[in-house]
């Protein structure tokens, strides 16, 4: 590709990038104002994000110049597809996640093309990748009777995935829920536990895993027949006890509508509460790799400050 064509293509892509950014900003404002537009507007923003990230990668390649620009773009795209295949192997995509998969692909492409040549664009790609991966691999940890939400009474402490959650208080300051580390429980050889109305006997001394089925094959054997006395004595299997407090949520409003707060790697949603405030409906979602979003945001913030200072120094 000759230099004149490269320059012309670069100007066209920069114009498209600015236009898409403006249009995406308008859609984002519309989503904030019009609640009924949230679902469609969110998908539209993701689609624009895919285009912007792909354009960003190509712009970086054209700005850096050099030979074999097309070949470098094709190699970067193939590398992104290979990485996406690995992600799909770990977390198969549902139809509603196809746009997020597109963001994953486009952000990988943009990051490979940007590398350290344009750290601002690289930071945006990292944020986009972290957002897409986090939303694809979310896991609801507040299951109850095959439902994604849990009813907690004041003072309750229950197991939620890798944590224990406790409903501490509900007053004028808000609804307070604390999360604790799990201290694994020691099960002795020969001890009996109850899981879904079935009785299991421990084969050897061991500490509990996060989930019973992780330990099942190695440490437990089912007991098909057991006398009623031992059956009544058998405790319900537990993955441990509450340990050190790691974080807490305080929802400041007392309404039946959904509220969200995000801390560490968990999203906490209070879906409703009883009239006397002693019972709440909660949904907790584990969000992996939120640290990637935070690191990308920090990179973006630092790069933006540096660019502003450079601009001011030139004046």
Q: Which two tokens stand for residue 293?
A: 């979003």
Average pLDDT over residues 282-311: 86
The per-residue pLDDT for range 235-258, each reduced to its tens digit, is: 888 888 888 988 888 876 555 444
CA pair distance 111, 60, nearest whole angstrom: 10
Among candidates 130, 118, 123, which has minimal Cα distance to 59? 118
Residue whose structure tokens are 């993955």: 239
48 — pLDDT class (breaks 50, 70, 90): very high
263 — pLDDT class (breaks 50, 70, 90): low
Q: What pLDDT, on the 0 to 100 scale, is given for residue 291?
A: 82
The per-residue pLDDT for range 205-221, each reduced to its tens digit, is: 999 988 888 888 889 99
Among candidates 163, 140, 139, which has minimal Cα distance to 283? 140
Average pLDDT over residues 41-48: 91
Whether the predicted pLDDT of 70 surpasses 50: yes
75 Cβ contact partners less than 8 Å away, ≥ 6 residues apart: none
Average pLDDT over residues 69-78: 87
Q: What pLDDT, on the 0 to 100 scale, is given for residue 261?
A: 53
CA pair distance 78, 72, nearest whole angstrom: 10
150 DSSP β-pair partners:
282
Whether the predicted pLDDT of 7 surpasses 70: yes
Specify whether the CB–CB gap between 272 and 280 falls below 8 A.
Answer: yes
The per-residue pLDDT for range 112-147, each reduced to its tens digit, is: 988 777 888 899 999 999 999 988 888 888 876 677
Specify whether the CB–CB gap between 158 and 284 falls below 8 A.
Answer: no
Q: What pLDDT, on the 0 to 100 scale, is given for residue 256?
A: 46
Q: Where are the domains of the chain?
A: 3-137+290-314, 140-184+243-287, 185-239
CA pair distance 172, 163, nearest whole angstrom: 26
Q: What pLDDT, on the 0 to 100 scale, is given for residue 282?
A: 86
pLDDT above 70: percentage of residues in the chain: 94
Among candidates 268, 264, 233, 226, which has minimal Cα distance to 247? 264
Specify whether the CB–CB gap between 291 and 134 falls below 8 A.
Answer: no
Task: Name the pTM for this structure.
Answer: 0.74
80 — pLDDT class (breaks 50, 70, 90): very high
Mean pLDDT value across the chain: 85
Whether the predicted pLDDT of 260 surpasses 80: no
Specify whether the CB–CB gap between 193 and 234 falls below 8 A.
Answer: yes
264 — pLDDT class (breaks 50, 70, 90): low
CA pair distance 83, 104, nearest whole angstrom: 9
Q: What pLDDT, on the 0 to 100 scale, is given for residue 117?
A: 78
């Amino acid at each position: 590709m000759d230099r004149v064509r490269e320059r012309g293509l670069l100007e066209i892509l920069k114009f498209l990038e600015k236009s898409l950014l403006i249009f995406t900003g308008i859609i984002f404002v519309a989503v904030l104002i019009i609640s009924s537009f949230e679902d469609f507007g969110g998908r539209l923003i993701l689609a624009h994000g895919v285009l912007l990230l792909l354009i960003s990668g190509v712009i970086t390649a054209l700005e850096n110049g050099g030979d074999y620009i097309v070949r470098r773009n094709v190699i970067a795209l193939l590398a992104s597809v290979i990485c996406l295949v690995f992600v799909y192997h770990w977390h198969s995509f549902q139809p509603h996640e196809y746009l997020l998969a597109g963001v994953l692909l486009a952000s990988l492409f943009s990051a490979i093309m940007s590398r350290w040549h344009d750290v601002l664009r690289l930071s945006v790609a990292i944020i986009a990748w972290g957002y897409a991966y986090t939303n694809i691999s979310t896991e609801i940890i507040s299951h109850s009777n095959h439902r994604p939400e849990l009813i907690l009474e004041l003072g309750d402490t229950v197991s939620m995935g890798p944590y224990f959650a406790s409903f501490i208080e509900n007053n004028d300051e808000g609804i307070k829920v604390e999360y604790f580390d799990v201290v694994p429980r020691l099960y002795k050889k020969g001890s009996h536990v109850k899981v879904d109305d079935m009785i299991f006997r421990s084969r050897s001394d061991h500490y509990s895993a996060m989930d019973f089925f992780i330990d099942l094959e190695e440490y437990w054997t089912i007991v098909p027949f057991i006398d009623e006395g031992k059956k009544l004595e058998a405790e319900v299997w537990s993955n441990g006890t509450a340990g050190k407090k790691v974080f807490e949520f305080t929802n400041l409003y007392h309404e039946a509508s959904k509220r969200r707060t995000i801390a560490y790697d968990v999203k906490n949603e209070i879906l409703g509460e009883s009239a006397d405030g002693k019972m709440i409906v909660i949904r907790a979602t584990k969000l992996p790799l939120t640290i990637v979003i935070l690191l990308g945001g920090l990179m973006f913030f630092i790069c933006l400050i540096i660019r502003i200072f450079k601009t001011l120094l030139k004046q």
